[in-house]
């Protein structure tokens, strides 16, 4: 038996889960050196929603965040989350954009890229895995974990074997909803360890209240690494807390070797941050508790709050329970997609539409139509023809890898944004979030030359001397 390794999520998934990814780089840097001293397997500090939130809400360059943390964190691997062919956006991008994004991520300081696809369609992982390995990075392929008649241990073992064949450096069981139960985790990890030679990592959320128990059973079965969050930003919709797990494993064959005194210092740094965001309302106390509905409806914590928000905007909050019951039915109709970005948002929105209109699939978002056409990838089980007809009529679905239909985009994007580019990475920011990035670039330009953004003529703009 080997010591358990820990990935700390406080700089990415913890604050993404608890307070909408609003931690600023200036709040991360003072504690970064201390985090580097712990001896973590890795620090997850980039990817997911951090890229979008940095540009959209914090007026920060996400690339500069990565570089700033890399300068301070010299001994611990930096890790990010990547949505395969979707990168950090919500649609598929051309292969040249995906490859360049991966290249620049590693160049700027990322060591480990956790790559997943919402449908577990490995064709959507190919380009990013290949690019990661070509740049000398660690390509961790993630299984998007869900439960359905089609999702069982045999399914995940087969996917894991295929991921290993694809070149995966390690494999993560990504339980975004917090529905992986302890004894299932034991059986799943046991079978994965028999089937593949690469390390196995487990990621879950505390939403349903079972996560720490799940970790203990997964560790007993041979899991190599687990994801935790330092205690002030743990629990609820975040990860299990780091310190209790470290204490529980002390003087056992799985002893992490991490120092609780150092971890306590780190916890003391983050505690006032949590209190501040609780007082400001950025952290909703509801996300800190246990929501057992997750185990019934398999709805991730973030999706629950999104459903409430959608219903509130329509004045239909009384329909919440109806929507919760509709979600699994929509999911079954659509071939049992795992409820992870972007599928969680898409399935949730369709469930809301079905309930509010009183007629199933009377209103269908474009994203759901594209999904049924095969533009997001292959569904776990085929969608019934009657459901297909309701959603896309007589239109044909594709069977090829969706990205094969996308022409190279990089050079076109460079041309579109050339007047704002100050670094090569700007083109990639623009590729992912064109409007948000352009607004950020305008503001950056205005600040640089100390003028009001509204005072320059966009068509005849020249840089002041």
CA separation, residue 13 to residues 20, 34, 65, 97, 166 (Å): 10, 19, 15, 24, 26
Predicted confidence band of residue 307 (pLDDT cuts 50, 70, 90): confident
Instruction: Read off the pTM.
Output: 0.93
What token pair was written down for 88? Answer: 């950090």
pLDDT tens digit sequence for 98-110: 999 999 999 999 9
Taking 70 as the threshold, does the pLDDT of residue 399 lie above it? yes
Spatial CB neighbours of 221, under 8 Å, sequence gap ≥ 6: 185, 186, 187, 188, 189, 190, 193
Taking 70 as the threshold, does the pLDDT of residue 57 lie above it? yes
Strand partners for 151:
148
Residue range 141-170: average pLDDT? 97
Taking 90 as the threshold, does the pLDDT of residue 460 lie above it? no
User: Lowest mean pLDDT: which of 75-89, 237-251, 331-345?
Assistant: 331-345
pLDDT at position 312 is 82
pLDDT at position 452 is 52
pLDDT at position 443 is 92
Residue range 395-412: average pLDDT? 96
Residue range 23-40: average pLDDT? 98
**Helix ranges restricted to H, 196-282:** 211-220, 242-249, 260-280
Residue range 76-93: average pLDDT? 95
Taking 90 as the threshold, does the pLDDT of residue 419 lie above it? yes
User: Lowest mean pLDDT: which of 266-270, 374-378, 459-463?
Assistant: 459-463
Taking 60 as the threshold, does the pLDDT of residue 454 lie above it? no
Taking 90 as the threshold, does the pLDDT of residue 451 lie above it? no
Predicted confidence band of residue 310 (pLDDT cuts 50, 70, 90): confident
The answer to whether the Cα torsion of 289, 291, 295, 298 is positive or negative is: negative
Contact 72, 33 (CB under 8 A): yes
pLDDT at position 341 is 79
């Amino acid at each position: 038996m080997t010591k358990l390794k820990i990935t700390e999520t406080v700089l990415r998934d913890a604050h993404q889960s608890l307070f909408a990814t609003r931690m600023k780089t200036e709040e991360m840097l003072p504690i970064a050196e201390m985090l580097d001293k712990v001896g973590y397997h890795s620090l997850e500090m980039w990817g997911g929603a951090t890229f979008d939130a940095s540009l959209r809400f914090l007026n920060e360059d996400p690339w500069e965040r990565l570089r700033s943390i890399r300068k301070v964190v010299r001994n611990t691997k930096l890790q990010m989350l990547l949505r395969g062919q979707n990168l950090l956006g919500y649609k598929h991008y051309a292969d040249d954009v995906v490859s360049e994004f991966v290249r620049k991520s590693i160049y700027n300081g990322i060591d480990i890229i956790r790559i997943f696809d919402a449908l577990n369609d490995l064709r959507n992982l190919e380009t990013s895995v290949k690019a990661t390995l070509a740049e000398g990075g660690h390509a961790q392929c993630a299984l998007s974990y869900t439960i359905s008649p089609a999702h069982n241990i045999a399914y995940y073992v087969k996917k894991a074997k295929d991921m290993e064949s694809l070149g995966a450096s390690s494999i993560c069981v990504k339980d975004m909803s917090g529905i992986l139960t302890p004894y299932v985790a034991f059986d799943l990890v046991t079978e994965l360890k028999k089937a593949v030679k690469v390390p196995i990592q487990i990621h879950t959320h505390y939403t349903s209240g079972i996560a720490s128990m799940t970790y203990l059973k997964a560790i007993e079965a041979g899991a190599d690494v687990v994801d935790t969050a330092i205690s002030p930003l743990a629990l609820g919709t975040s990860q299990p807390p780091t310190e209790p797990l470290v204490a529980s494993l002390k003087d056992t064959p799985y002893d992490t070797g991490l120092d609780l005194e150092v971890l306590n210092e780190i916890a003391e740094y983050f505690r006032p941050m949590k209190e501040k965001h609780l007082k400001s309302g950025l952290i909703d106390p509801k996300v800190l508790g246990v929501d057992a509905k997750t185990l019934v409806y398999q709805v991730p914590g973030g999706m629950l709050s999104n459903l409430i928000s959608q219903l509130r905007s329509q004045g239909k909050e009384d329909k919440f329970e109806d929507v919760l019951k509709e979600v699994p039915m929509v999911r079954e109709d659509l071939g049992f997609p795992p409820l992870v970005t972007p599928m969680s948002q898409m399935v949730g929105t369709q469930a809301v539409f079905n309930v509010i209109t009183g007629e199933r699939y009377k209103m269908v978002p474009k994203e759901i139509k594209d999904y049924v056409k095969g533009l997001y990838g292959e569904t776990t089980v085929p969608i019934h023809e009657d459901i297909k007809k309701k959603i896309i009529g007589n239109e044909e679905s594709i069977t090829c890898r969706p990205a094969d239909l996308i022409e190279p985009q990089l050079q076109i994007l460079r041309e579109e944004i050339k007047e704002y580019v100050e670094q090569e990475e700007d083109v990639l920011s623009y590729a992912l979030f064109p409007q948000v990035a352009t607004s950020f670039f305008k503001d950056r330009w205005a600040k640089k030359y100390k003028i009001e953004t509204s005072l320059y003529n966009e068509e005849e703009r020249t840089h002041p001397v």
